[in-house]
Amino acid sequence: MMILGSNKHMNRFKAYFVVYSSHLFLTPRFMKRLILFCAALCAFGSPIHAQPFTYQFINHQMPIIQNGTLATGDMNNDGRMDYVTTGFWSNIPDGTIFRNQGVQVTVDLSGVTITQLLQDLRPGSDMPKMVFGTIALGDVDNDGDLDFAASGATNTQAPYTTTAGIFTNLLTSGIRKLGTYIDPLYSGDLAFGDFDNDGRLDLAQCGASAEGVYSTKIFRNDWPTFPTGAPTFKDIGAGLIGVAFCDVAWNDIDNDGDLDLTVSGATTTSSHTRVYRNTDGRFTDMGFNLVPLVFSSLDWGDFDHDGDDDLVISGGKYGPGLLTGVTKLYRNDAGSLTEMAVNFPGAFSGKTAWTDFDNDGDLDVLLIGGDTAITNPRARVMQNLGGGNFRPAVNLIGAMLAAVGIGDIDGDADSDVMIQGYNGVTGAASYFRNDTPNLNLLPTAPKNLKTEVSGNTVTLSWDASLDLLTPEKGLMYNARIGTTTGGQQILSAMANLTTGLRRLTAHGNAGHRRSLTIRGLKNGIYYWSVQAMDSGFAGSAFAEETTFSITGAQNEGSVEEIEETLPTEIFQITSSYPNPFDNHTTLELTVPAPGKLQVRVLDLLGKQVRLLTDTTVASGKLQLGWDAADATGRRLPAGMYLVEARYGDQQTVQKVMVR
């Protein structure tokens, strides 16, 4: 048991306070936590023992969703975690964003009732409505808000009709589908990660096609710096094992500065769990003997604070009769994985995740799932006691076929959980607010920022931060790079750049390393900063901004491509020039084969303001001009517009700016 009043923790607190009191970033968010913590220290003359987890079941306004997916993130940049969800409710496949509006407290004769208030935003007709699907959140266009990728089926019975796409977040104007770009798969997974270190989020995908083909692919994000250029995701032909009923996760397993990929799921004849090492964009199986699972859930986190993220994985293992739920923990020692004897309960068809539920600086494990496909659904927290030892700490209402959202939903600096799924009797939606009394102070901001430039490549570095509870090696870091002061057009931090508050519960883009390399930059001046993150994914304030210059770029920023593995022609808006523009811009499109093409200009509410073409065209390159006017010839107001191009069943969208 951690003793906050011990000499060890008191000494760390003194050092922490000295460092932070001399720092520039004494924000109100930090000072509130510091005052509460100091009050707790002063109130007890004896050591303060860490309290057990304290959960409260909270009423909420989310429907019960079956065969769904659930992701948590701050979708409107108001500092509150929202829910992005799809699944089967109201008797149809559906999809929406539930905006978090805080809680309502009602007092009557029966007592006090607390309800989480949610606003169903219905963010436009482009919102995917699907089942057996998956959603991944990330800032695809580096404009500072969370976008998402989605894939799934639009009907509940075989044969399935599948759908997929990349969706941009227009905040108050809803969401807009940029295009399909990825494969329409169901019973799969999606994960964003920048595997080629160019600052743009790439995408890993696994799942089953409507024809029953299982596949695993990596799509590289070749969208140039926002807001110019066209969105393009290209299959790199990575040669990964094709799986469905699966999970994929990015992590720098060997700490060499680039992201590797873990894949777990079923082929048509068996099941597999494999880790692929990333070497300059080529992926090779690392040959680990990991438990083969189906309906897999996996997560990486540094439970032993050695600077290497460790793997926890659960799912179903083939055996006589029913699939049996299994959960395994593998310790990572400098890129080598060793199974730990932890005796975790099985968690079939659910969710397994690292999260510091008791705010003691150590990662605990949340297990959701069943012993088999039909028995003993559970939701259990396994508390990290240190030294590789865990104990059952809390039992919540369990679920199978579960969709789970984890994050600081109520803004009190601890991890809450929303669980959707089958509880053994019926479908259920359960929100558990974490009311642990243990306070989580923020890490200090990194200092001594440095840059090293070579050609069109920069390596950023900084000194280690300090945290009261998370040891130095256990801290993570999260950087941003912009072309303007305070910007992040090159590398998004997915955080509030003023307060450091994270917009989603995820690892920082630099991992545990105190350096980060970004390639393919154009000549110019860049502005950057970095924040530290603790085991609870709480972000410090950002360090004081600094700059660097690129002067030796030879090819104006294009990252070296492996063209022989990529399709030669895809439907896309390849450019709009100039952009931004005053009176005229030229749009260039690539059409892979003759067919019907419609191109129109929309405002941010999705209303058509100009039809540019609606006709059958030949294959090849096509140019269209737009004079910033509507269909009547009236000059439109300055601002952002969307150029939507449809070709057959494909769609792509480009943002253009009228000055």
Lowest mean pLDDT among 115-119, 360-364, 383-387: 115-119
**Band of the pLDDT at 95, cuts 50, 70, 90?**
very high
Do 316 and 249 have their domain in common? yes
User: For the segment 252-281, what is each residue's pLDDT rounded down to a tens digit?
Assistant: 999 999 999 999 999 988 999 999 999 999
**Band of the pLDDT at 165, cuts 50, 70, 90?**
very high
Looking at every residue in the chain, the average pLDDT score rounds to 86
Q: CA-to-CA distance for 454 and 17, rounded, in angstroms?
A: 38
- The CATH number of the domain holding residue 350 is 2.120.10.70
Across the range 195-210, mean pLDDT stands at 96
Q: What pLDDT shows up at residue 253?
A: 96
Q: CA-to-CA distance for 645 and 592, rounded, in angstroms?
A: 14
Q: Which residues contact 576 (CB under 8 A, 6 or more apart)?
A: 228, 230, 585, 586, 587, 588, 643, 654, 656
Q: What pLDDT shows up at residue 226?
A: 53
Do 462 and 396 have their domain in common? no
Do 595 and 532 have their domain in common? no
Q: Is residue 106 part of a domain?
A: no
Query: How many domains does the chain fold into?
Result: 3
Is beta strand 378-386 parallel, antiparallel or unpaired with respect to 175-179? unpaired
Residue 5 has pLDDT above 60, yes or no: no
Q: What pLDDT shows up at residue 552?
A: 82
Do 273 and 327 have their domain in common? yes
Do 622 and 510 have their domain in common? no
DSSP-assigned letters across all residues of 161-189: -EEEEEEEE-GGG-EEEEE--S---EEEE
Residue 195 has pLDDT above 90, yes or no: yes
Look at residues 550, 580, 597 and tell me which one is the last residue of a structural domain: 550
Are the C-beta atoms of residues 239 and 282 closer than 8 Å to each other? no
Name the 3-class secondary structure at 426. Answer: coil
Do 211 and 306 have their domain in common? yes
Q: Is residue 565 part of a domain?
A: no
Q: Which residues contact 516 (CB under 8 A, 6 or more apart)?
A: 197, 257, 459, 460, 461, 477, 479, 509, 510, 530
Residue 524 has pLDDT above 80, yes or no: yes
Q: Is residue 40 part of a domain?
A: no
Structure tokens that stand for 176 in this block: 């807009």
**Residue 312 belongs to what domain range?**
56-101+116-433
Do 460 and 421 have their domain in common? no
Q: Is residue 33 part of a domain?
A: no
Do 140 and 245 have their domain in common? yes
Number of neighbouring beta carbons within 10 Å of residue 17 = 17
Structure tokens that stand for 643 in this block: 């150029």
Lowest mean pLDDT among 62-76, 489-503, 645-659: 645-659
Q: What is the dihedral of CA 8, 14, 15, 17, to 10 degrees?
A: 140
DSSP 527: E
Q: What pLDDT shows up at residue 321?
A: 64
- The CATH number of the domain holding residue 620 is 2.60.40.1930
Residue 112 has pLDDT above 60, yes or no: yes
What angle in degrees, to the nearest 10, is found between the helix axes of 28-43 and 7-21? 150
Pick the residue with more confidence: 618 or 508?
508
- The CATH number of the domain holding residue 538 is 2.60.40.10
Look at residues 495, 516, 550 and tell me which one is the last residue of a structural domain: 550
Q: Is residue 173 part of a domain?
A: yes
Pick the residue with more confidence: 638 or 503?
503
Are the C-beta atoms of residues 372 and 389 closer than 8 Å to each other? no
Look at residues 518, 550, 582 and tell me which one is the last residue of a structural domain: 550
Q: What pLDDT shows up at residue 111?
A: 67
Do 507 and 593 have their domain in common? no
User: For the segment 293-331, what is each residue's pLDDT rounded down to a tens digit?
Assistant: 999 999 999 999 999 999 999 999 987 667 899 999 999
Do 464 and 426 have their domain in common? no
Q: What pLDDT shows up at residue 224?
A: 66
Are the C-beta atoms of residues 338 and 328 closer than 8 Å to each other? no
User: For the segment 542-600, what is each residue's pLDDT rounded down to a tens digit?
Assistant: 999 999 999 988 755 433 333 333 334 567 787 777 888 888 998 888 888 888 899 99
Pick the residue with more confidence: 272 or 43?
272
Q: Is residue 438 part of a domain?
A: no
Are the C-beta atoms of residues 324 and 348 closer than 8 Å to each other? yes
Do 511 and 414 have their domain in common? no
Do 137 and 234 have their domain in common? yes
Lowest mean pLDDT among 39-53, 168-182, 532-546: 39-53
Q: Is residue 284 part of a domain?
A: yes
Q: 286 pairs with which residues across the strands?
A: none
User: For the segment 141-151, what is each residue's pLDDT rounded down to a tens digit?
Assistant: 999 999 999 99
DSSP E strands in 334-415: the ranges are 336-339, 348-355, 364-370, 378-386, 389-396, 400-407
Q: Is residue 218 part of a domain?
A: yes
Across the range 627-651, mean pLDDT stands at 85
User: For the segment 469-504, what is each residue's pLDDT rounded down to a tens digit?
Assistant: 999 999 999 999 999 999 999 999 999 999 999 999
Structure tokens that stand for 621 in this block: 């390159």
